[in-house]
Amino acid sequence: MKHCEAYDRAPWSNQYERPFDPEDVAPGFENLPALIRDASSSWPDQLAFTTCMPNGMNGSLSFGDVEAMSDAFAAYLREELGLEAGTRVAVQMPNCLSFPVAAFGVLKAGCVLVNTNPLYTAPEMRHQFRDSGAEVVVILDMFLDKLEAVIEETPVRHVVVASVAQWFPRVVRGILKGVLRYWNRVIPDTDLTATPINQALRTGRHHLNEKEIDVSRYTSEVGHDSPAVLQYTGGTTGVSKGALLTHGNLLVNMRQLDLISQGYLEPGRDCVLTALPMYHIFAFTVNLLLFYHHGGRNVLVPSPRPIQNCQRAIENYPINWITGVNTLYNALLHEEWFNIYPPRTIKVALAGGTALHQSVSERWLDTVGCPIVEGYGLTESSPLLCFNPINRARPDSIGIPAPGTRVRLVDEAGACVPAGEAGELVARGPQVMSGYWNRPEETEATVKDGWLHTGDIAVMDEDGYFRIVDRKKDMVLVSGFNVYPNEVEDCLATMDAVHEAAVVGVPDPESGEQVWAYVVPRAEALTEADLAAHCKANLAGYKRPRRFIFREELPKTPVGKVLRKELRDEAHRAAAPATAAEELAGQGEG
């Protein structure tokens, strides 16, 4: 533990806007519903959410609307369905107006929100609903058929259904629904009994009036340690498990976000582009909770793919904040409309989720005129752990630990590595989850003595800025040298003819592993020789990819992280076709 001192004296602490005071990092509110209520009463008539469809059709809800509707939804859950505090309620929707109403309603009812990816397949839904024990699902009509296929095998008792055009002006809603149902045929016919969300709200409102209920009493027992959200994540071990985030975790994390964005958040005046899905922890905490808290307007894009779906949202609204991941920014920068009319009103672009490539960050600064500020965090930490001070973001760095967060870099044995050397980033702070839902072993493997093990390899500079070199499991070992895929990808991405690239390691009998690169070309003329020449000029021999594979696109997670694992599996199969064939033959005989 001799090197821990280098981290524990917090060399980054003089980088904060103001000296760190533990008092600053306090939840501020009793629970999340109290914070929501505070915001709703401060800006009742201002618009809180606007959903913008790819053709510009849109619908909005004011803070007052959201307050009244989520109250009604909470009453529906408690009075009509008879749920108790702590019951899990899954919300499975892309970005749309129903999302905040349902999510806030669940929290106000004192229930636990289970954020669920709407793109899940039926078996994945079954796993998540069973694991979380969700009794109610709020889902979009488009995905009802998948739910129907597995609902019998889950604890789900009630289904509430919404449409993507929910609460749009009547004519627009009719047109959108008609097109989705009759032409695109994406709304399946099912026999599932489901309550339309509007009807649920009517019922809830009826209960509220009838019994003169004060919704805040549902959460009178809910405090900082009470569970608020079950956020599912693959984590490092593969099995999808629910990180249990408490009201305190989320409230403190928002407070930490406040502290680092002082002077940039203007209460009641900001407008944030929410193209990342709110069921993901990044947009959930930052866009949904933080901007609602400060009276900001969320412009919701239901699906940012293709990226052109964001065009009308960016054109039609005075967006001044944007959150995204590397791939989103990269995609925007490759759009003609974005380059010709970049939104000059943007003052802060936040990036997280995955390493931000240097080339993307530079092009963004050139095009939009504001830097992309990179932060770092995990589902398990609500999510923010580290951030770059907004006005002096350091390129290629995740910045410094958020106020109130301790960070160390450790080796395999768990001992601190000397400052300046690479080690696994571990962190502890009030935003770190209390554990995985019903998985004590997994929790123990991830949170050891209160330290969250991130699985990311980082180095610390002298002044306390951290730099992620790569995911532990993505590292490639070539003849004993560590190759960090990020570095090679970044090098490839600096070529104009390269749209994006992903680098993986495959087994090699001589060097242990060799580097392969999957490349999405932007120019058709790009050849392997060009790529090899570029790498030769910029990378040491052992880092250079031995094979280049051209692709139309790369596999990605819903937020747009490149799935290196998929590519690695594929590369492994391709690298050892003979072995694979033998295995198959063997199986056939057996």
Query: Phi, psi at residue 274, to the nearest 5°?
Result: -110, 85
Using CA atoms, how far apart are residues 69 and 79, in angstroms rounded to an integer?
15
CB of 337 to another protein, least distance (A): 6
Using CA atoms, how far apart are residues 236 and 571, in angstroms rounded to an integer?
20
Nearer to another protein, 334 or 406 (CB): 334
Torsion, Cα of 207, 209, 213, 218 (10° steps): 40
97-119 per-residue burial string, b: 16 or more CB within 10 A, e: under 16? bbbbbbbbbbbbbbbbbbbbbbe
Of 33-41, 408-416, 438-446, 553-561, the window that binds another protein (rule: CB under 8 A) is: 553-561
Say how far residue 370 (Cα) sits from the centre of its chain: 22
Q: Is 175 a binder of another protein (CB under 8 A)?
A: yes
Nearer to another protein, 117 or 388 (CB): 117
Sheet strands (E) in 105-240: 112-115, 136-140, 158-162, 195-196, 227-233
Identify the residue among 37, 247, 312, 471 touching another protein (CB under 8 A): 312
Identify the residue among 199, 262, 316, 579 touching another protein (CB under 8 A): 316
- Taking CA atoms, 481 is separated from 14, 396, 542, in Å, by 35, 21, 8
CB of 171 to another protein, least distance (A): 6
Q: Site residues for another protein, window 229-258 (CB under 8 A)?
A: 234, 238-240
Q: Is 308 a binder of another protein (CB under 8 A)?
A: yes
Identify the residue among 56, 318, 418, 507 touching another protein (CB under 8 A): 56
Nearer to another protein, 168 or 466 (CB): 168
Identify the residue among 44, 550, 558, 572 touching another protein (CB under 8 A): 558
At residue 193, what is the residue type?
T
CB of 141 to another protein, least distance (A): 18
Total residue length of the chain:
590
Site string for another protein, 91-130 (x = CB under 8 A): --------------------------x-xxx--x------
End-to-end CA distance of the chain: 52
How many residues touch another protein under the rule CB under 8 A: the total is 39
Nearer to another protein, 342 or 429 (CB): 342
Q: Is 552 a binder of another protein (CB under 8 A)?
A: yes
Q: Site residues for another protein, window 322-341 (CB under 8 A)?
A: 336-337, 340-341
At 504 the three-state DSSP class reads strand
Q: Site residues for another protein, window 182-221 (CB under 8 A)?
A: 183
Of 170-178, 290-298, 347-355, 488-496, the window that binds another protein (rule: CB under 8 A) is: 170-178
Of 248-256, 437-445, 475-483, 549-557, the window that binds another protein (rule: CB under 8 A) is: 549-557
Using CA atoms, how far apart are residues 291 and 269, in angstroms rounded to an integer?
10
HSE value, Cβ hemisphere, 13 Å, CA-based, for 587? 6
Nearer to another protein, 82 or 306 (CB): 306
Nearer to another protein, 10 or 119 (CB): 119
Using CA atoms, how far apart are residues 509 and 578, in angstroms rounded to an integer?
14
Using CA atoms, how far apart are residues 17 and 14, in angstroms rounded to an integer?
8
DSSP state for residue 398 in the 8-state scheme: -
Kindly list the residues in this chain that would bind another protein in the complex (CB under 8 A): 52, 55-58, 117, 119-121, 124, 168-169, 171-172, 175, 183, 234, 238-240, 308, 312, 315-316, 336-337, 340-341, 551-558, 563, 565-566
